[in-house]
Homo-oligomer: A and B are copies of this chain.
Amino acid sequence: MTALPTLLVLDAEPPPRLGRLTGRARVVHTDETGLAGLLPGADVLLVWDFASHAVRSAWPGDGPRPGWVHTASAGVDHLMCPELAASDTVVTNARGIFDAPIAEYVAALVLAMAKDLPRTLEFQREREWRHRESRRVAGTRAVVVGSGPIGREIARTLKALGVTAAVVGRVPRTGIHGPDDLDRLLARADWVIAAAPLTERTRGMFDLRRFGVMQPSACFVNVGRGQLVDEDALVRALEKRWIAGAALDVLTSEPLAADSPLWRVPGLLVSPHMSGDTVGWRDELGAQFVELFERWVAGRPLRNVVDKQRGYVPGH
């Protein structure tokens, strides 16, 4: 008999679908405080609590450690650290699960802003019948920053609504613009969608200068990571009407504190990091991990392997 591999799960509660691993793994749950002590004895780490940054500080600099880390999220910024990047540990992510839900969420935000829906709801609350003209979406232009599967699916969904959508990635390739095109595209866009991974290249990329390049009629949407955006610069751009509106589903600090001024910036819609989380998403994440685990046990190549230097899964 071979010893069962130890699967360490970073989360207070058992993830769904992991019952299928019964008898095939020794499953150990931990919270953030127990993580450092348990990592050396684990073969696999499942980062189910994707809001936790505990892996960064708990990762062992040397000695035994898991050979594989999987995160139930698209982004890996919350767990990457130089020691993990330098190690031979394989990191995988939840690539694929969030693409279509996030694309629909972006379409919902774009259409809501075009049709002035937030103000309609305000007028309803005030019992005021205020007819206004609204904007067509077809025929407008979007630029999607982030050329992974999420960004590309956002572009595809907006195109289905008649929007001309350009995608910008780190490297230009067929159908994808490179960083050199970004400012020109921003200057023409009606909708600017941030859907990039958080890396040292993308951190703070939406700053005062870039908001200044955008059209006064443009709206900005962030469904990537809060730290892509200089939030002070965004507030200033909205206050000075450099842009017409914005929606942030991700924020530099989550959950957003009740006393944050961001809750009440005119023209800014704030939602609680929910764009990808449609009914059944936790089941899908659990099933995806089980499938990867079965590959790993069988010695077959894993999917969704993150390039630890770049900070995302390279691909098409």
A binding-site residues for B, Cβ under 8 Å: 100-101, 104-105, 107-108, 111-112, 114-115, 117-118, 120-121, 123-125, 127-138, 157, 160-161, 254-256, 258-260, 263-264, 269-274, 277-279, 281
A138 to B254, CA, bound (A): 29
What is the CB-to-nearest-CB distance from A154 to chain B, in angstroms, rounded to a whole number? 13
Closest CB-CB distance, A51 to chain B, in whole Å?
Answer: 10
Contacts A104-B111, A107-B111, A108-B114 supplied; 11 other A-B pairs, CB < 8 Å: A100-B138, A101-B136, A105-B134, A107-B107, A107-B161, A108-B108, A124-B270, A127-B258, A129-B255, A131-B277, A135-B279
Cβ contact within 8 Å between A132 and B274? yes
Q: Please tell me if the beta carbons of B108 and A279 are within 8 angstroms of each other in the complex.
A: no
CB closest residue in chain B, given A159: B160
A138 proximity list for chain B (CB < 8 A): 100, 104
B136 and A279 form a contact (CB under 8 A): yes
What's the number of copies of this chain in the assembled complex?
2
Cross-chain contact B112 with A117 (CB below 8 angstroms):
yes
Q: Given known contacts A121-B121, A161-B160, A254-B129, is B100 in contact with A134 (CB within 8 Å)?
A: no
Contact residues in B for A160 (Cβ distance below 8 Å): 160-161
Residues in B with CB closer than 8 Å to A129 are 254-256, 272
Q: Bound complex: CA of A36 vs CA of B48, how far in Å?
A: 73
List the B side residues contacting A273 at CB < 8 Å.
131
A117 contacts which of B117, B124, B132 (Cβ < 8 Å)? B117
Q: Smallest Cβ distance from A215 to chain B, in angstroms?
A: 15
Chain B residue numbers with a CB within 8 Å of A136 are 100-101, 104, 278-279
Name the B residues within 8 Å of A274 (CB-CB). Answer: 120, 131-134
Query: Once the chains bind, are B281 and A133 in contact (CB under 8 Å)?
Result: yes
Out of B127, B161, B256, B263, which one reaches A263, CB within 8 Å? B127
Contact of A130 (CB < 8 Å), options: B114, B130, B272? B272
With A108-B114, A112-B112 as known contacts, state yes or no: A128 contacts B258, CB within 8 Å. yes
Check A108/B100 contact, CB under 8 A, given A133-B277, A160-B161, A274-B132.
no
* CB–CB B157/A123 < 8 A: no
Q: A127-B263, A263-B127 are in contact. Are A134 and B277 (CB under 8 A)?
A: yes
In the complex, which residue of chain B has the Cβ closest to the Cβ of A157?
B161
- 26 A-B pairs, CB-CB below 8 angstroms? A100-B136, A107-B161, A108-B111, A108-B112, A108-B117, A111-B112, A112-B117, A118-B121, A121-B121, A124-B263, A124-B269, A124-B270, A125-B263, A127-B259, A127-B260, A129-B255, A129-B256, A131-B272, A131-B273, A132-B277, A134-B274, A134-B278, A134-B279, A157-B161, A160-B160, A161-B161
